[in-house]
Amino acid sequence: VLAKALNADELWVLIGIVVFVFGYMMFGGANSMVYTNTIQALLMLLVAFILLGSGYEHFSAGVHDFLDKLAAVDPLLVQSTNPASPLFRDYFEIIFCNFIVGIAIVCQPHIITKSLLLKNDRDVNRYLLIAILVEIVFFFVVFVGLFARLSFPDLTVGGEALKMDGIVSAYVVQEFPVFLGLIVILGLLSAGLSTLEGLIQSLSTTITADIIEPLFGKRLGEGEQGQGRLVGLNKWVIALLAVVAIVVSYDQLMNPSLSVGIFAQNGVYAYFSAAFIPVLLGIFFREVPPAAPIAASVAAVIIHFGSYYGGVTHYLQGAVRNPAVAATYAIIGSFIIGMLVYWLSPKPAAAAAD
């Protein structure tokens, strides 16, 4: 989107965005997120209202007229399922899988840690109320895809086919003047950057605190010296993640799947699946043997990628596969394995007593 707006090469725009975002996360961390997330959220809310307002004309004759327009383009657009779609074939794929993944998402470290930014307990109810209301507005933004489809019934512009990721940006360019278009583009970027910041923070911290420190903690030293070296290592981890992000993102640009969203979900949902059961065990269970969360995480990664690339069930066969289905299998499988290991393993307190 930004490359089109700037008329610049996608690779250099990609490198610029990654260096900028990973750079300020490397040196600003959670402190910078407080301010950047606030600005991003306000901009996203403004853009949500702008985008939703752009389709008011479609409802001028009522909701039924809007549905009739969609049916004229494609009757499946007004159906609750689309058997021909690789993503919305039935209610298992649309509702059940997204419900399971949704539970895992709200338990992720980069979501839970947002509550640590509250000053006191009295802010919790206001925090939840504002979050729920804003989230409802954001959910309605999916209607913009329908507005765009009405603007491009055959998904072409000037005789050229639109890429899946280029439909909304083409709609923005067509519907809005330059000034408003730039604001909308910034809002769309904010939606991705806010998630990216949280993932950078949680993933780098997980690698540093849960992998590097247990394995090499004694070599790093003790006290402030050890903590200082860990902070330095965390910066190197973020730099390494930036390089990985550039490589895999450029491959997606050169060899696109259906959508960058599907590409991103495959990796992100695998991470969510691997982190969910350990977080669940840490919150709701006491004296958890280390083998339980480790087994659950390893199982989640194996099940997710094994089912996604192995074509397990008809949902994951074909050129385009739904990562939510693979994540659902992974979450359920890792939950069963994690619970079995938890119940069968001796508890730390009992082992210490023995």
Interval 135-193: pLDDT, tens: 999 999 999 999 999 999 988 888 888 888 788 888 888 888 878 888 888 887 887 78
- Report the alpha-carbon distance of residue 241 to residue 181 in Å, rounded: 31
Q: Phi then psi for 229, rounded to 5 degrees? A: -70, -35
312 compared with 354, residue with greater pLDDT? 312
Mean pLDDT, the chain, integer: 85
Domain boundaries, the chain: 2-54+118-254, 257-354
Interval 65-74: pLDDT, tens: 999 999 999 9
**Burial group, residue 40, by CB count within 10 angstroms (0-12, 13-18, 19+):** buried
132 compared with 196, residue with greater pLDDT? 132
- For the segment 121-129, the average pLDDT, to the nearest whole number, is 87
DSSP structural state of residue 165: G
Residue 282, CA distances (Å) to 140, 308, 337 in order: 34, 28, 16
Task: Name the token pair of 26.
Answer: 């490397």
Q: For residue 239, what pLDDT is reported? A: 92
- Report the alpha-carbon distance of residue 49 to residue 250 in Å, rounded: 32
Residue that the structure tokens 């000034």 belong to: 179
* CB hemisphere CA count around 156 (13 angstroms): 5
Alpha helices in the chain (DSSP H): 2-6, 10-53, 63-73, 91, 97-106, 109-112, 123-140, 143-151, 167-175, 178-206, 213-220, 223-254, 260-284, 291-310, 323-344, 348-353
| Lowest mean pLDDT across 123-132, 173-182, 185-194, 312-321 | 185-194
| Lowest mean pLDDT across 194-203, 236-245, 264-273 | 194-203
Q: Is the pLDDT of residue 349 over 80?
A: no
Band of residue 240 on the pLDDT scale cut at 50, 70, 90 = very high
- For the segment 5-12, the average pLDDT, to the nearest whole number, is 77
| Lowest mean pLDDT across 157-171, 232-246, 323-337 | 157-171
Q: For residue 93, what pLDDT is reported? A: 93
Other C-beta atoms lying within 10 Å of the C-beta of residue 82 = 15
Q: For residue 348, what pLDDT is reported? A: 66
- For the segment 28-51, the average pLDDT, to the nearest whole number, is 82
Q: For residue 219, what pLDDT is reported? A: 76
